[in-house]
A and B are shown apart, each in its own frame.
Chain A
């Protein structure tokens, strides 16, 4: 409590990152996996911005901007792949994508 220092933001960023990682590892729905990746990227953004504020430079903002642009590109392609998968298998569960398993 009291003044909020950078440690608070770093803790929050770490917690969000691990919630996202948890989602990627333990959920089977492809869409939820995609959204968890977005959450991880956001946690990293928060860390960048917190350090930028702490160090007084705007380099962290620029980095966050690039991360956002990349996340947009990756979300677009991920969703396109998801739509293709759905077209072929009519399901977005990762369990059903077993064609290459022996």
Chain B
């Protein structure tokens, strides 16, 4: 049951990614990416990460991709007429799988992963646990992130202004 769900979600994620890098229409690419992001959210939920699952849908699929699609609509970006260097599906899949195998081989040789997963409490990954950890162990990066977001907001407004 777990295995079936994992393989379906993994297939959707990889398919979404491949479609995104190979489709010419940027809007179709954006929607493939949304499919990939939602499948990844499902995988997060399978890994008992409830908070990150909701955040993935809320932030990534719901906000960032809306921004991308909004930009596509605003700039009226159509399918590219210019013929790029054609990279086909097979080449894409082959390259990705080979590189992944190489990376994973490197992990196996040089890395160390303990064989058994640790049993976790039922509220592992809930909003409370993650929030508690974030505001006690990781409070400094938390504050820095809020500063980064502030700088990003100001930067975007300034960059997009026609007359400063």
Q: Measuring CB to CB, which residues of chain A are less than 8 angstroms from any residue of chain B? A: 1-12, 14-23, 26-29, 31-32, 34-36, 38-39, 42, 45-46, 49-50, 52-56, 58-59, 61-62, 64-66, 68-77, 79-84, 86, 92-93, 95
In the bound complex, do residue A10 and residue B104 qualify as a contact, i.e. CB atoms below 8 Å apart? Answer: yes
Please give, as numbers and ranges, the residues of chain B lying within 8 Å of A82 by CB-CB distance. 71
In the bound complex, do residue B103 and residue A18 qualify as a contact, i.e. CB atoms below 8 Å apart? Answer: yes
Q: Measuring CB to CB, which residues of chain B are less than 8 angstroms from any residue of chain A? A: 2-3, 6, 10, 13-14, 17-18, 20-21, 26, 29-30, 33, 36-37, 40, 43-44, 46-49, 51-52, 55-56, 59-60, 63-64, 67-68, 71-72, 74-75, 77, 80, 82, 84-85, 87, 92, 95-97, 99-100, 103-104, 107, 113-114, 117-120, 124-125, 129-130, 133-134, 137-138, 141, 145, 148-149, 151-153, 155-156, 159-160
Instruction: Tell me how many residue pairs across A and B have CB atoms closer than 8 Å.
Output: 217
> Which residue of the partner chain, among B20, B48, B104, contacts A11 with CB atoms under 8 Å?
B104
In the bound complex, do residue B40 and residue A58 qualify as a contact, i.e. CB atoms below 8 Å apart? Answer: no
Q: A19-B14, A61-B52 are in contact. Are A77 and B159 (CB under 8 A)?
A: yes
